[in-house]
Structure 1
Amino acid sequence: MSSHLKGLTPEEFQILEQEKIVGATNFVTFDLPESLESVALIEYLGYTRAKAEEIFARWCARPDPDSNPYTPKDHALVELSNLERAPLRDLLDRPAEAMRGLGIAEEMLNCMMAPEHKDMLETETLAAWLDIAMRSRYGTAMRYLDILKARAVRAIRTKKGNERGNIDGVFQPGGSTPDTDVALATSSISMSLESKFHGEMFPREYATIVQTPPQNRPGFVTLYKGKSTGFEYQKQTTLITENGNLNMQFIATYNGGDFNGQDLAWYWSREKETAEKYRQWAAKYDVHGETWIMQIQVPETFLQSVNIERLWYGYDWKQYLWYCKTMTPNSKLPENLRKYATADVMEGHICKRHPSTVPKILKQNVQQKLTEDDCLVLGNGRKSTQTVFMNWEVVDKLEPLIRGKMYIEVHLASVK
């Protein structure tokens, strides 16, 4: 069993309290589970206490644990599949009622139902967004526990070496008065950037902290991507590898997207506002986690050297999107659409229609049922766009061009 699943040992938690890195008041206020194998973890993911206890009891009672190495998180995520079965499936037009029926906590329900993010909620199924939200929260909890454990181990070693030592800016001690913003005392906002990004998240020699974004360079196209840092977080899976290369798997999108019916793809946007919509939505459901807007600048000469197709709202857009959402094999696409599936790069409008509803549209009704209202739009009414790198071959060529030049705008947790 990995150390982060075991959580903090009593000795580690004690040393963190002694060093004022965490305090009892801070810890409870932040509601960070001490272990990733606990009822508290499942509740933190977004379930009610009663439902969390039910799921945890089921996990504890699983037969032959050595042959069933599934975690409480796995059991919590599997539970979401009930949203797509009767009787909850019949409530999906009333998502709040469906979530309450499943045992989703009111806090998570309010995140999902936030009216300002209605257009984002509609871009995926309810089960898919809950899955993403819970994976993000799990990654955030794991990341904080990893950081705390690393600091505790260093502090213990220092004490055993008869040195006081200085715990370098990890978590600033929070106040004890009732009106103090203690939730942030154990969240990322009180962690020094130097400590966080040099060594904890990125290899020290490959990350530089700057205060201003890079200028747009002539001859380059600037692309943006908004994401949660908690989603699928693993210590072994980081954006930058030990040799300084970018791990492009870290930012890939699985099949079934707007333009990638069968294979992984890499989604970006030319509009920062589009990336910001995704980032703000991630910040809503992963309330304690950091969110990023990633920025890269791609040489125009590179884009001119690859096979690029553009697909704006219209007849082919509706048709190709339907085939992608039904995950139709590329070999079975109509002849007029195959050029999109075999492109290196695609650019086009973003669909906000519920993915679960698109495959249910009869093929002969696609042109009537998908309308311009199904396009994601920006605040000024302009349609959002996406730039998609469609295969590993083009991404392997892209990686060295953006290596060492990626800019990440970090938004710290703002929970109150």
Structure 2
Amino acid sequence: MLQRGGAHHRRPRAIERLVGAAKPTASIRALNFASNEMLFLQTCDIPSDITSTEALGWIGFDNTTAAEIFERYIARPDPTINPADLLQYVYGHISRLLTSNLRNLPRVQAMRVVGLNKPIRRALLDPCYDQILWTQDLHFWVKDTLKINYATLMQLQQQLGNYIHQRRSKQKQKPASVHGMSVVPPPAAELRHWQPEHTATVNMIPEDHNLPASHVTVSASPPTIREGHLMLYKGRAATESINQDGPIADDGSISMEVLSTCPGGDFNWTSPAQYWTPEKDVAEQFRRWAEQRCPYSETWLLAIQLSPEFARGLKREELWFSRDWKEYAWYCKKTKQPLSKFNHFWNDPPAGADLMEGHICTGVTTAISRMKVEEIQDRIDEDHVLQVGENETKAKQCVFLSAGAINRLGREMRGKLHIDIYAAIQSQEFSEGLEAIALK
């Protein structure tokens, strides 16, 4: 098993150079890290081989199921003509959650059948996030959780590989002292087979979060809202897709596909869309949901500011809880083409909308997926609107639908994007433990 860790109280020079950088694409702020900076203290055991039974156990399967999936993977008839990676076998295994047999089982039983381990089951069944869970079906969130965990494992491997390579270059292959212990870093090609017993120091910089250092600046406080601007938020895990670049490209432009939602959302049945919310509490709930399911992954709370001029140039539609809301959301969730009366929502402009504003739907599995269209009006009620806060107010969303609007949004976001980066729960708990020891 590889280990990751390190403790620091000084900004790295790379970050010092970013402070005050001219016209950055985004600002970032690190929260809940050991030193509240981009260098932090974290330790965790991770598998040394990304393609292994141990890796499958790390992302969320029990030992028996992890071994079964891996055996199917290595026994594929001819890897040269069956090149699917291990994660595709994971997806194939959990597709059983889409069958009628497992759909009709209680959630905990269905997750046991597909072999999810106790920590994953406990996270997905946390009643605090029940409404968030049912904004999609169980299969969606299980797949999302495993995918994020696998992507996080790959990111940790990369960070450790970079560290080993740097140490090897600096020490010229001499034994390197790590926390007072002797470790000889191997060549990068041998990393997957390396089994160190000690903790290594990893210096976290913007590039480790798929953020180009030349286009971000570090902030100690949240952004000031510009006069007349609309603030929108999104909460998510830092790494949500395998082999996917970060939201900021090397030239400083915003990569909108990284932040997009696939068809099957509340308001997009056929094309990817941009889902944001004007309510920070709503975005924070989704960020905490990602944190709960993926404790080794950093999480992000993104904020963007839209100018009055940009907003005035959008063709906007509203769809709040109503008969039409129930019906349109039902079609979109099932990725079925809505009736022609809804063409003004989803067709490309000038017929369709650039931006839709409306309530967020929950209760997907019980209230939408299993019913017929004629049952919608009677069986979907206000309990199927996501509610947040002590006052249980109906949660709102802003959805950019048209390709033209999404492209313009990407240009509008440049220089007006802020990301609060939260340390993984695992690193927070470890840091708290060290602080307690230090106080004794």
Q: What is the TM-score normalised by the length of structure 1? A: 0.83
Deviations 1:20-48 (A, max 9, x none): 99xxxxxxx72311121000111112110
Aligned AA (2:387)? V
Shift of the alpha carbon at 1:392? 1.9
SS at match of 1:218: coil
1:358 aligns with 2:368: yes
Aligned AA (2:59)? L
Maintained 8 Å contact 1:33/1:41 = yes
Rounded to whole Å, the distance in 1 between the matches of 2:290 and 2:209 is 22
SS at match of 2:218: coil
**Structure-2 change in CA distance of 1:186 and 1:291 (3 Å):** farther
Match of 1:206 in 2: 215
SS at match of 1:287: coil
Quick one: which of 409, 419, 428 aligns to 1:408? 419
Maintained 8 Å contact 1:147/1:200 = no
SS at match of 2:205: helix
Rounded to whole Å, the distance in 1 between the matches of 2:143 and 2:50 is 17
1:273 aligns with 2:281: yes
1:316 aligns with 2:324: yes
SS at match of 2:97: helix
Shift of the alpha carbon at 1:157? 2.0
Rounded to whole Å, the distance in 2 between the matches of 1:304 and 1:398 is 13
SS at match of 1:129: helix
Instruction: Give the length in aligned residue pairs.
Output: 372
Q: Percent identity?
A: 30
Rounded to whole Å, the distance in 1 between the matches of 2:367 and 2:180 is 47
**Structure-2 change in CA distance of 1:174 and 1:208 (3 Å):** farther
1:374 aligns with 2:379: no
Quick one: which of 84, 93, 109 aligns to 2:98? 84
- Matches for 1:121-200 after TM superposition, within 5 Å: 121-160=133-172, 195-198=204-207
1:345 aligns with 2:355: yes
- Matches for 1:45-84 after TM superposition, within 5 Å: 45-84=59-98
Shift of the alpha carbon at 1:219? 1.5
Match of 2:240 in 1: 231
SS at match of 2:296: coil
Shift of the alpha carbon at 1:317? 0.7
**Structure-2 change in CA distance of 1:406 and 1:173 (3 Å):** farther
Unaligned runs of 5+ in 2: 9-42, 182-197, 347-351, 430-440
Shift of the alpha carbon at 1:123? 1.3
Report which structure shows greater RCO (CA 8 Å, sep ≥6): 2
Rounded to whole Å, the distance in 1 between the matches of 2:387 and 2:145 is 23
Deviations 1:355-398 (A, max 9, x none): 57514322122111110010001112110000011022111112
Aligned AA (1:395)? I
Match of 1:241 in 2: 249
Match of 1:112 in 2: 124
Shift of the alpha carbon at 1:154? 1.8
Match of 1:294 in 2: 302
Q: Considering fraction of residues, name the structure with more strand.
A: 2
Deviations 1:326-362 (A, max 9, x none): 2223xx5232x21111210000000012257514322
Shift of the alpha carbon at 1:237? 1.7
Aligned AA (1:384)? A
Deviations 1:100-129 (A, max 9, x none): 122111111101111111111111111110
Rounded to whole Å, the distance in 2 between the matches of 1:20 and 1:214 is 28
Rounded to whole Å, the distance in 2 between the matches of 1:387 and 1:44 is 35
Match of 2:46 in 1: 32
Aligned AA (1:407)? H
Rounded to whole Å, the distance in 2 between the matches of 1:162 and 1:200 is 30
Match of 1:98 in 2: 110
Deviations 1:215-234 (A, max 9, x none): 11111100000000121042
1:396 aligns with 2:407: yes
Shift of the alpha carbon at 1:196? 2.1
SS at match of 2:91: helix
Maintained 8 Å contact 2:163/2:202 = no
Quick one: which of 329, 333, 337 aligns to 2:339? 333
**Structure-2 change in CA distance of 1:191 and 1:149 (3 Å):** closer
**Structure-2 change in CA distance of 1:159 and 1:242 (3 Å):** same
Rounded to whole Å, the distance in 1 between the matches of 2:76 and 2:374 is 47
Q: What is the TM-score normalised by the length of structure 2? A: 0.79
Match of 1:4 in 2: none
Rounded to whole Å, the distance in 1 between the matches of 2:402 and 2:357 is 14
Shift of the alpha carbon at 1:85? 2.2
Rounded to whole Å, the distance in 2 between the matches of 1:365 and 1:306 is 34
SS at match of 1:208: strand
SS at match of 1:144: helix
Unaligned runs of 5+ in 1: 1-7, 22-28, 167-171, 176-184
Shift of the alpha carbon at 1:251? 0.4
Shift of the alpha carbon at 1:285? 0.5
**Structure-2 change in CA distance of 1:372 and 1:186 (3 Å):** farther
Maintained 8 Å contact 1:344/1:391 = yes
**Structure-2 change in CA distance of 1:250 and 1:38 (3 Å):** same
Runs of 4+ in 1 over 6 A off after TM superposition: 161-164
Rounded to whole Å, the distance in 2 between the matches of 1:130 and 1:410 is 23
1:306 aligns with 2:320: no
Rounded to whole Å, the distance in 1 between the matches of 2:357 and 2:180 is 47
